[in-house]
């Protein structure tokens, strides 16, 4: 049922989950255009925002065959997530990929996350 008042939600580009922002939406024309919970766009959920603030980038594994590319990039809504996520520090990501990563999330092939997990297992065995 639609109303002229709704609760704003955003979708996390890392985990793909919708979450409440705490913002109340109001249709200024008082038309019943809003769902009870209305998604207005993309933003980091509290868990992933905290990791970003601590200096981590989320590497989200996506199936390249099922994702839609715009040039060489994937938009959050066009990423077919596999469910695998790795968090790496910005400085480490720069060393591994030899690229400056400026955003909180990067969509990568599943093999990248597998490689990072193997590296972590090798280093934790010392």
In the chain, where the domains are located = 5-46, 55-124
pTM beyond 0.75? yes
Q: For position 87, what pLDDT does the model report?
A: 94
Give me the mean pLDDT over the 62-69 stretch. Answer: 92
- Given a cut of 80, is residue 48 above it in pLDDT? yes
Report whether pLDDT(63) > 60: yes
On the question of pLDDT at 125 being above 70, the answer is no
Residue 86: predicted pLDDT:
93
Who's near 14: CB < 8 A, 6+ residues apart?
44, 45, 48, 58, 60, 85, 104, 105
Model confidence at 21: pLDDT above 80: yes
Reply yes or no on whether the pLDDT at 126 is more than 80.
no
């Amino acid at each position: 049922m639609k109303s002229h008042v709704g609760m704003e939600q955003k979708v996390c580009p890392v985990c793909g989950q919708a979450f409440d922002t705490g913002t109340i939406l109001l249709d200024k024309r008082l038309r019943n255009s809003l769902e009870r919970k209305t998604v207005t766009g993309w933003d980091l959920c509290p868990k992933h925002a905290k990791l970003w603030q601590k200096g981590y980038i989320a590497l989200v594994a996506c199936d390249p065959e099922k994702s839609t590319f715009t040039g060489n990039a994937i938009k959050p809504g066009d990423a077919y997530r596999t469910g695998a996520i790795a968090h790496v520090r910005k400085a480490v990501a720069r060393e591994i990929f030899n690229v400056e990563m400026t955003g909180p999330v990067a969509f990568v092939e599943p093999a990248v996350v597998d490689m990072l997990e193997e590296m972590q297992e090798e280093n934790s065995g010392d």
